[in-house]
Structures are given as C-alpha cells and as structure tokens.
C-alpha cells in the first residue's frame, strides 16, 4: 500500500436469506392510499428500503445504499434505473392512511409514503448510490417500531401480485395472535388496500372476490409454506358488507400432507406467454414485475380471444396490440372502475355487472376443458411405469423448467411432481404434449353439455 492511500475496508458479507427480514410496523401492513397508487414493485422497494434503514439505525436521518444492492433485495430483475425512478416518484406522490386497532385504541395516520430520494451516479467504475428519507413525524415508528411484524424479503419477493403481497403480510401479522383473525373492515376498505388504488368509490363484491381475493389466496397457498388464509364474510341479509381473514398454520402440510393441485388455480407462466406474443424478454419481465398480475392476465386473455376471432382482420403485431390494450385498460379498470371489455377479466366494477357474453362463456368453458384435460394427464402419469415417468420428468425439465418462475422451479427440483407448487405446471405441460391439438367449438360445446355447464 502506497503512502497516503486510505486502506479499503473489506466488504460486508451479504446477509443470508433467512436473516433478510424487516420489522414492519403493524400500521404499515394494511396501507390504504388516499392519493396515487401502489404497485407490487413499489411495495418490494419499500420493504427493502425499510430493511436497510433498520440496519443503519434510527439515529440516521438520511439513509444511503448502493443502488445495485437495493435492486437485488427488492427482487427487481432489471437494471432499468428510469423504471425504478418512476416507482420512487409514485411512492413520493402517494398519500397513505394507516389504520390499526387494539383494545380500546384506534389510530389513524395520514402521511407521504417516502420523503426525499437522491440517486447519484459517481462516474465510470464507481457504484451508483441511492439516499432516502422518511417524513420526520413517522420515521422512528417505521425504523424502530414498538409493535411490528417480521416480513421475510425472500417470501415477499416470491409473490407475483400486489393483493397476494398484502395478504402475505397480513397473514404474517396475525399468525401469532390468539384468535388468528385479521382486522374486520368493509368491502370498500379492503378493495383499496388489496389493489393499492386510491380512486375506488364503489365495488361489486362478486368481482372483488373472484378476480382479486380468490386468486391472491391461491397464490399464498401455493407459495407460502407457513400458513394459508381463509376468507370470512359478514353479511347483512344476503349482501356481504364486511370481510376478514383467518390464518391457518401449515404445519401438517409442511410435514407432507396430501397434494391437491386443483387448489393452485393461478398461473405463474405469464412471462413466457408475453414473450410468445412477441415482446422482448427484458420488456416482458419488466411488465411482469411492475404490473398487477390480474390486469396482465386479463389483457392477455383479451388478446388471445382477439387472435382466435375469425370475424376480425388478422393482427400484424400481437405484441403492439397487447401493450396498447394494457395501456387503455381493455381488460382492467378504467376511470371510476366502469365495466370494460372483456367482462370476465374485470378486477372491480362500478354498479351492476353485465351478463356474460357468448365469448365469455366460451372462454370459461375452455378453461374448464383445460382443467379437465390436466386432471386426465395427472391420472395418465400415475398409470405409467416408473421408467416412462422418469422419461416424462426428464423431458419436462429439458423443455420447460428454464421458462417457469423461480419458486416453481425450486419446488420441482426439491420434490418433483409431489410438490404442491410445481404439480399443476407439470400436469398442464403433460396434457399439452399428450394432446397437442386445439379443441374446436364443437368439442368445447359437447364437453359443456356433458358437464352441465353450457348455460352458465
């Protein structure tokens, strides 16, 4: 070492995944934005910022970190700094309300989600850094909370939709409570909390349950090994006015309970489907990381229906049509949550729901047909001799494993077809390679008549 040279400190070893947990204030678990909107990526970034703030200590008014470390801890698989900046701006522009209740106490707080943020690019060869602040009134309660829930960044980062990320944290909070019952709130309150939207004024509970709650519960059931959640509805007459959730520990299932793939009703293969439309891999991954999964799936269903239509001109660029449909909300929520095409993909609606169209009914019949075919593929696999089963597993790993989501791939490598998480993906693939031909409308209608679902 030359004279005058400052000795470099050895870099800190990165914490083990099990150690990467943030003590999240209970008030910050169920956040209801009053202005702006929260997304899955913004929630991940916020948790990662809190994690590093707590490591640096409550006495620090400003926190600093290498930008690459934040990106890694937020499970953000992109180096697109502009995209990251847009989510930071969203958090700064979002006014939130935190609500918590206890014995004889109700607390309400309205605040910015995040204070001043600075990103410094220090030149070639030097790391890019990020500094951030929290509003002074709430900084101590965030960085050194008295009542908090331990949220594991690894598990939180596996959730692929905003509602599932919220419900995971709520489940973690109430897992250790004596009653294991979450807060009980009205449907409108839950709609805002579970979607991260501030512009919801009216909700049709049927769509909220079908397109938001049920899918999030299935996602948690598949990806969270510690607990699942049960929806509890409180009615006045026949109308559901309030809901809450019961936390169900998964000790029995973790010790090897019976597999039930039919419960995994969600699909984590959206990135592959987006790439198949013609999107570049990086673009598809960024969309997947920053857009609500229900909205992505609904838009994809709309584009697939458009591609199957014989009455309309052929699409020259399905990828461009998809991005335009996503931007304009063809399959999502527009304005004050009004009904938009297609009805089957609505997350929420305002006023009375429209009756399903013939195209929607055919789409639902196709879903039921595909699920039936998947169950037949499962039965077929169980009847195969061991040598043929091994051959099909090897073929699945060679053809499909690199394309599926990381949590599913890890579960497959660990447990194979016995995995609760990976079984559905494997059996769906097996059905596709066993019966590759597409069903005609006649085949679907015959199936619907046989199942008694044609008139739904």
Pair of tokens at residue 89: 């701006």
Query: With bands split at pLDDT 50, 70 and 90, how would you rate the model's confidence at 50?
Result: very high
Neighbouring-strand partners of residue 228: 248
Nearest to 39 by CA among 70, 79, 69, 74: 74
Q: Within 13 Å, how many C-alpha atoms sit on residue 28's CB side?
A: 26
**Residue ranges of the domains in the chain?**
21-144, 159-250, 268-332, 359-451
256-291 pLDDT per residue, tens: 333 433 332 223 367 778 888 888 765 776 676 556
Largest CA distance in the chain: 87
Please state the pTM of the whole predicted model: 0.56
- The predicted pLDDT at position 163 comes to 92
DSSP for residue 334? B
pLDDT at 183: 92
Note the pLDDT tens digit of each residue in 347-384. Answer: 343 333 344 455 556 666 776 787 788 888 888 999 99
Asked whether residue 8 carries a pLDDT value surpassing 50, the answer given is no
**Class of residue 202 by CB neighbours under 10 A (exposed 0-12, middle 13-18, buried 19+):** middle
DSSP string, 248-288: EE-HHHHTTPPP-GGG------HHHHHHHHT--HHHHHHHH
Look at 445 and 169; give whichever has higher pLDDT.
169
Between 136-143 and 40-56, two packed helices, what is the crossing angle to 10 degrees?
80
CATH 1.10.10.10 for domain 159-250: yes
The sign of the dihedral angle between the CA atoms of 81, 87, 93, 96 is: negative
Peptide bond preceding 342 in cis form (omega within 30 of 0)? yes
The reported pLDDT for the residue numbered 260 is: 39
Cβ–Cβ < 8 Å for 294, 218: no
**pLDDT-derived band of residue 441, with 50, 70 and 90 as boundaries?**
confident
Q: For residues 72 and 12, which has the higher predicted lDDT (pLDDT)?
A: 72
Side by side, the strands of the sheet bearing 129-132 are 63-66, 129-132, 117-120
289-225-240 Cα angle (round to 5): 75
The encoded tokens of residue 247 equal 């936390």
Q: Which of 226-230, 258-262, 399-403 has the lowest mean pLDDT?
A: 258-262
pLDDT at 107 over 90: no
pLDDT at 395 over 60: yes
3-class secondary-structure state, position 338: strand
Q: Which residue has the higher pLDDT, 268 or 244?
A: 244
Least confident piece of the model among 39-48, 115-124, 184-193, 325-334: 325-334
Q: How many residues does the chain have?
A: 456
Q: For residue 77, what pLDDT is reported? A: 56
């Amino acid at each position: 070492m030359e004279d005058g040279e400052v000795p470099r400190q050895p870099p800190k070893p990165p914490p083990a995944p099990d150690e990467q947990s943030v003590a999240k204030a209970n008030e910050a678990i169920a956040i209801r934005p009053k202005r702006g909107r929260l997304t899955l990526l913004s929630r991940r970034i916020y948790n990662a910022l809190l994690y590093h703030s707590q490591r640096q200590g409550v006495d620090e008014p400003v926190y600093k970190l290498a930008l690459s470390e934040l990106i890694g801890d937020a499970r953000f698989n992109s180096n697109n700094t502009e995209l990251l900046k847009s989510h930071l701006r969203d958090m700064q522009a979002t006014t939130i309300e935190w609500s918590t209740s206890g014995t004889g106490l109700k607390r309400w707080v309205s605040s910015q989600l995040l204070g001043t943020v600075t990103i410094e690019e220090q030149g070639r060869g030097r790391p890019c850094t990020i500094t951030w602040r929290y509003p002074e009134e709430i900084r101590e309660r965030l960085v050194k909370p008295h009542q908090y829930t331990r949220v594991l960044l690894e598990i939180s980062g596996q959730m692929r939709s905003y509602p599932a990320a919220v419900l995971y944290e709520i489940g973690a909070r109430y897992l250790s409570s004596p009653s294991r019952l979450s807060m009980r709130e009205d449907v409108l309150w839950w709609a805002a909390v579970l979607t991260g939207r501030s512009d919801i004024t009216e909700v049709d509970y049927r769509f909220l349950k079908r397109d938001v709650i049920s899918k999030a519960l299935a996602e948690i059931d598949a990806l969270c090994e510690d607990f699942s959640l049960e929806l509890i509805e409180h009615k006045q007459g026949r109308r559901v006015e309030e809901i809450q959730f019961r936390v169900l520990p998964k000790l029995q299932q973790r010790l090897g309970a019976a597999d039930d793939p039919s419960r995994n009703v969600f699909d984590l293969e959206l990135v592959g489907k987006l790439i198949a439309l013609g999107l570049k891999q990086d673009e598809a991954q960024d969309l997947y990381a920053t857009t609500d999964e229900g909205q992505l799936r609904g838009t994809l269903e709309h584009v697939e229906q458009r591609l199957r239509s014989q009455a309309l001109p052929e699409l020259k660029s399905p990828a461009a049509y998809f991005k335009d449909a996503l931007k304009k909300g063809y399959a999502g929520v527009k304005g004050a949550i009004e009904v938009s095409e297609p009805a089957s993909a609505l997350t929420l609606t305002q006023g009375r729901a429209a009756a399903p169209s013939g195209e929607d009914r055919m789409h639902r019949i196709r879903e039921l047909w595909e699920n039936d075919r998947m169950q037949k593929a499962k039965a077929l696999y169980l009847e195969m001799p061991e040598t043929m089963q091994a051959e099909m597993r090897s073929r699945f790993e060679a053809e499909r494993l690199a394309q599926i989501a990381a949590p599913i791939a890890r579960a497959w490598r660990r447990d194979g077809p016995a995995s609760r998480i990976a079984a559905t993906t494997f059996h769906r693939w097996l059905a596709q390679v066993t019966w590759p031909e597409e069903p005609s409308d006649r085949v679907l209608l015959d199936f619907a008549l046989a199942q008694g679902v044609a008139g739904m």
